[in-house]
Amino acid sequence: MTKKSVASLSAADVSGKRVLVRADFNVPLDDQGAITDDTRIRAALPTIQDLTGKGAKVILTSHFGRPKAQVVDSMRLTPVAKRLSELLGQDVIKCDDCIGDEVAAAVGAMENGQVALLENVRFYPGEEANDPEFAKQLAANADLYVNDAFGTAHRAHASTEGVTKYLSPSVAGYLIEKELQYLQAAIENPQKPLAAIIGGSKVSSKIGVIETLLDKVDKLLIGGGMIFTFYKARGLNVGKSLVEEDKLELAKALEAKAKEKGVDLLLPTDVVLADNFAADANAQTASVESIPDGWMGLDIGPDSIKVFQDALKQCKSVIWNGPMGVFEFDKFAAGTEAIAHTLAELTDQGVTTIIGGGDSVAAVEKVGVAEKMSHISTGGGASLELLEGKELPGIAALDEA
């Protein structure tokens, strides 16, 4: 997907023009309505500042939460407008709607270099339904379109795909450009050897990405709750650990495919067990061959950590998607945290490290090594689908370079 980028637009192309920018401002708030992590807002700044610097009138649009096509006051984008104003050093105009007369009047009064933020697009049913009439109304106040919301690029919504039919050019922002550059290169043209670390609780949510990666990687390291489906498929006792009974044959097939492809598929050799699913559960470490009844695995063990670290040290590129255990509980976070530290060290040594969205991002942030990674993806589902080789509607709809 080589798409036209905002970098290709000159000041002559955008000065005085109204540019609709789809951003991803779906940020976490505390009980008082204050933003607890502004990463996604800061990620949009390069695109916004590039456009304002070239004299464009920037109209920002985003979803926020899941209001289910109702106006929900706690899901208004007002806190985002406040934070954006601070970061940009100018007052961001906040509209209380995303379509209609109020928006038209606000945009009509804008000066070159000013920024306006529209209200949550998901207050309207037409957004997620990708309704052409809603997309047309959304596009009515703009001359051209920039999509910089990678986290929703795998959804064909009105603000990500529909508006491209009414605005030209439609180009990628810097964030999407960077995501494509790293994630596509990792799959299509990686520095070898390439390793992928796949974690998380269920094989079912990662089948597509595991199958695709088996055609691309030299090493595949598997952690998280999904390992117990593989062990059970091998005939091992897994105690009370999470197992997807309907995926046992699939687990066998994936191991067979890895062998056939010459991929080194590594499963943990030992696990940290708990007597129940709780932060203060009693814990013990056991070999995967000797998991006792009544216990459940919540992390990979110390031997596995060492085996995984040794395997990763032989690689030039690493993709990580999904934690090694229940890292929200400190007692069961050692595996995930060790992988995060190892990848930070390897990045310093010139290895390309890509953190593919979701819980892996939370893990590297928790450990404080996020800044050290080569690339941190802003999209969970979108990253997975791109790694699987699927077409992302919000990107496919943009102009070809």
| Residue 220: count of CB within 10 angstroms of its CB | 23
Q: Please, what is the Cα angle at 75 between 71 and 81, to 5 degrees?
A: 115
pLDDT the model gives residue 316? 96
Contacts of 262 (CB under 8 A, 6+ apart): none
User: What integer pLDDT is reported at residue 379 of this predicted model?
Assistant: 81
Q: How many CB atoms lie within 10 A of CB 188?
A: 9
The predicted pLDDT at position 306 comes to 98
d(CA 116, CA 60): 6
pLDDT at 357 over 80: no
Burial classification of residue 139, based on how many CB atoms lie within 10 Å of its CB (0-12 exposed, 13-18 middle, 19 or more buried): buried
Q: 263 near 218, Cβ under 8 Å?
A: yes
pLDDT score of 358: 72
Angle, CA of 107, 51 and 169, to the nearest 5°: 80
pLDDT for the residue numbered 189: 84
CA 9, CA 174: separation in Å to the nearest integer? 12
**What number is the average pLDDT over the span 20-44?**
93
Angle at the Cα of 1 (from 381 to 173), degrees rounded to 5? 70
Residue 377's φ and ψ, nearest 5 degrees, are: -75, 140
- How distant, in Å, are the alpha carbons of 272, 308, 390 from that of 234? 19, 20, 31
CB 129 within 8 A of CB 159: no
Mean pLDDT of the chain: 95
DSSP at 29: B
Encode pLDDT of 364-396 as tens digits.
988 999 999 999 988 878 888 888 888 899 999
Structure tokens at 7: 């970098």
- Mean pLDDT value of segment 132-137: 98
Q: Cα–Cα distance between 265 and 340 in angstroms, integer?
A: 20
pTM recorded for the entire structure: 0.86
380 against 216, higher pLDDT: 216
pLDDT in tens, 220-266: 999 999 999 999 999 999 999 999 999 999 999 999 999 999 999 99
Residue 315: pLDDT over 90? yes
Report the pLDDT value the prediction gives residue 255, as an integer from 0 to 100. 97
- From the list 353, 276, 367, 285, the residue with the least C-alpha distance to 317 is 353
Secondary-structure breakdown of the chain: helix, strand, coil percentages, each rounded to the nearest 5: 40, 15, 40
Backbone angles phi, psi at 119, to 5 degrees: -75, 160
The amino acid occupying position 367 is V
Q: Which of the four pLDDT bands, split at 50, 70 and 90, describes residue 203?
A: confident
Length of the chain equals 401
pLDDT confidence tier of residue 1, bands split at 50, 70 and 90 = low
d(CA 280, CA 383): 33
- Among all residues, which ones are annotated catalytic? 40, 202, 358, 381
Per-residue pLDDT tens over the stretch 281-299: 999 999 999 999 999 999 9
CA–CA separation, 233 and 62 (whole Å)? 44
With 70 as the cut, is the pLDDT of residue 170 above it? yes
* Cα angle for residues 153, 218, 391 (degrees, 5° grid): 20
Residue 74 has pLDDT above 90, yes or no: yes
Distance of CA 321 to the CA centre of its chain: 9
